Structure 1
Amino acid sequence: MRASRLVQLLLLLQANGGSTAGELARELEVSVRTVYRDVEALSAAGVPVYSEPGRGGGVRLVDGYRTRLTGLTSDEADAVLLAGLPGAAADLGLGTVLATAQLKMLAALPPELRGRATRIAERVHIDMPGWFHRPDETPTLATIADAVWHDRRLAITYRRGDDAVERTVDPLGLVMKAGTWYLVARVRSDIRSYRASRIATAHLTGEPFDRPTDFDLAAHWQAAAADFGRSMLKVDAQCRIATAHLGLLRLMNDPAAVHAALATLGPTDPNGWADITIPSESYEVLTHALLPLANHVEVLAPPEFRAHLRTITEAMASRYRPT
């Protein structure tokens, strides 16, 4: 633990050019006395670090004691700082590793890039989950990640509704989708996806497995997500829509359905309306998707769904009719 703290202290000094003992103590979450002991330890190890007493003093490194990254442009420095997702790293048990890596990056940057890179963190924050989305509890995720990193088979218990199934899987990768983690794993010859929050238990078996040489995680996920989205679209309705309000279709909150609907959009007539076929996983879901469009959409078929919407809208009109 102390060795790790000494490295972090050195990196802080390289990144900041010097700090007071109090500032270092707060950053390292130790006492000021511990900071001075650590400074002495670094000095004894040959690191050119010294303390300056009084106002404006502090702990500093001898000028020039710093490694620098060469050939790194300002845009590249921005990209590296933006690449880190602290929440994701923490989920995977890599929060401290990410913080140390970014600290090393800042320590190694030339002064003219260090200030620019620091401004990125002050001005850009990446918040992955959508609005009103409560992050999943994923207590087994760090174990799953360990298996992914080291190509070790994993024994899991997966909750499926009220049931629980046990599987031994080859963990091929982890995907974060809108703030939700998924494990992509091979089960015998099949490749499946498991929502990490539904994995109740996960244990490393210690048994290695051979990772498929032709497996591309990003390509697999993209294809699987597209197939899943299409498989969910089991019903559709033929409609007329005011093209000026096509943006309201996105309230359906189902990109696959919106994409499929827009592919059927016909030409706009002189009144600004066009034919469109809108798919969904069920007519109940489609009802809630179309109601926000109000009088900017009209269902033409099937007749039973048209009648269903008429019943709902008449009931709404009756509720709001003056008494």
Structure 2
Amino acid sequence: MRASRLLTILMLLQTRGRMSAPALAEELEVSIRTLYRDIDQLSASGVPVYAERGRAGGFQLLDGWRTRLTGLTAAEAQAMFLAGLPGPAAQLGLGDAMAAAQLKLLAALPADWQADARRVSSRFHLDPVGWYRSAAPTDHLPAVAEAVWGERRLRIRYDSWRGIVEREIDPLGLVLKAGDWYLAALVGKDPRTYRLSNVVELTVLDQHFVRPADFTLAQYWTASTRRFEAEIQRDSAVLRLSPRGLMLLRNFGLTPAEPASAPEADGWTRITLSIETIDSAVQELLRLGAEAEVVEPPALRERMAEAAGRLAALYGTVSAQA
């Protein structure tokens, strides 16, 4: 266990440069005291690691020193092949590069690991697009990815819910969620999220920008999505669902806001569901058909009754004409 931790410290310092003791300890999930003992052990084994004091100080390796230790475990090699997703890589224009990298990695592995690494791609596949839908257009994706990598400013025309707007943005990172690509970008000093399929026009500018040192894409995305869901789902509805309705609810990816109650005498179950608006709730709940009954709020129950009445009138008219 300690040998693995020492190797991790070595690789962190080699790839990230100077790191403070608290940052290293947090990364390794150990105490500061344990970290200092590990650093002493590295120094005693001949690794030229030294400390800089002060607010910007920390541990770092001697300039120009690098280890040749690059070995992977069998599980790590398999994980590398599992992480190489052909669809997203091709959309980013990196399909050939990913295939070449995997080929080089495969050639470097011991012979008895190569079969295991090949087996990963034949037994695990990721399809990020939801059922009954196609992936959103990705016409601008390669250019945006290049701008993110090169820290180049973009000018976009964007189809927002307010209409077409024009913005100059600093692209910070790309996220693939449920088959759609999203761009995290700065507008002034405020980070915002743009759905890439809504970008009407895009121009890569000659201007470079300075990426904020404290920006972490994963942290921003998690906080942003939680805030968005909390803001958008302000109301709730109480439903009665048949056993089939409960199954459909799970299949549609709708999650109750509270645990379901025990089934009633007729086998139906009451749940509470977070909703955005009455209009959006009607569209969602119509998919459940006669397997769901809205109990509350009264406004949603009335709208569902109106929608059901219009459907009955429409199909009644069709039947009469037939």
8 A contact 1:240–1:297 mirrored in 2: yes
Match of 2:159 in 1: 159
Equivalent-residue separation in structure 2 for 1:221 and 1:106 (angstroms) = 33
Match of 2:141 in 1: 141
Match of 2:104 in 1: 104
How big is the shift at 1:235? Answer: 4.1
Match of 1:87 in 2: 87
Match of 1:127 in 2: 127
Q: Which runs of 5+ in 2 are unaligned?
A: 1-67
Equivalent-residue separation in structure 1 for 2:201 and 2:306 (angstroms) = 48
After TM superposition, the structure 1 stretch with the greater mean CA deviation from structure 2, 157-166 or 146-155, is 157-166
Equivalent-residue separation in structure 2 for 1:289 and 1:251 (angstroms) = 13
Equivalent-residue separation in structure 2 for 1:85 and 1:213 (angstroms) = 28
Equivalent-residue separation in structure 1 for 2:298 and 2:161 (angstroms) = 35
Match of 1:207 in 2: 207
Describe how 1:1-323 pairs up with structure 2 within 5 A.
71-160=71-160, 163-241=163-241, 246-254=246-254, 258=255, 261-263=256-258, 265=259, 267-268=261-262, 271=265, 275-293=270-288, 297-310=292-305, 312-313=307-308
Deviations 1:167-191 (A, max 9, x none): 2111110001111111100000111
Change (3 A) 1:222 1:281: same
8 A contact 2:260–2:272 mirrored in 1: no
Equivalent-residue separation in structure 2 for 1:214 and 1:307 (angstroms) = 49
Change (3 A) 1:138 1:75: same
Q: Which runs of 5+ in 1 are unaligned?
A: 1-67
Scaled by the length of structure 1, what TM-score is found? 0.66
Structure 1 vs Structure 2 CA RMSD: 3.1
How big is the shift at 1:107? Answer: 1.3
How big is the shift at 1:307? Answer: 3.6
Match of 1:5 in 2: none
Change (3 A) 1:314 1:202: closer
Equivalent-residue separation in structure 1 for 2:307 and 2:163 (angstroms) = 36
| Residue identity in the other structure for 2:77 | A
After TM superposition, the structure 1 stretch with the greater mean CA deviation from structure 2, 270-279 or 215-224, is 270-279
How big is the shift at 1:80? Answer: 0.5
Deviations 1:202-246 (A, max 9, x none): 333232222112211111111211222232225432334457853
Equivalent-residue separation in structure 1 for 2:287 and 2:138 (angstroms) = 34
8 A contact 1:69–1:109 mirrored in 2: no
Change (3 A) 1:310 1:180: closer
Equivalent-residue separation in structure 1 for 2:154 and 2:167 (angstroms) = 8
Larger radius of gyration: 1
Change (3 A) 1:317 1:145: closer
Change (3 A) 1:310 1:205: closer
How big is the shift at 1:304? Answer: 3.8
Change (3 A) 1:189 1:132: same
Change (3 A) 1:311 1:203: closer
Structure 2 SS opposite 1:103: helix
8 A contact 2:184–2:191 mirrored in 1: yes
State how many pairs are aligned.
249
Equivalent-residue separation in structure 1 for 2:263 and 2:132 (angstroms) = 38
How big is the shift at 1:120? Answer: 1.7
Equivalent-residue separation in structure 2 for 1:209 and 1:224 (angstroms) = 22
8 A contact 2:257–2:274 mirrored in 1: no
How big is the shift at 1:311? Answer: 5.0
Deviations 1:280-314 (A, max 9, x none): 22334323433454565433223343344345556
How big is the shift at 1:102? Answer: 0.8
8 A contact 2:181–2:197 mirrored in 1: yes
Scaled by the length of structure 2, what TM-score is found? 0.66
Structure 2 SS opposite 1:262: coil
Identity of aligned residues (%): 41
Match of 2:15 in 1: none
Match of 2:4 in 1: none
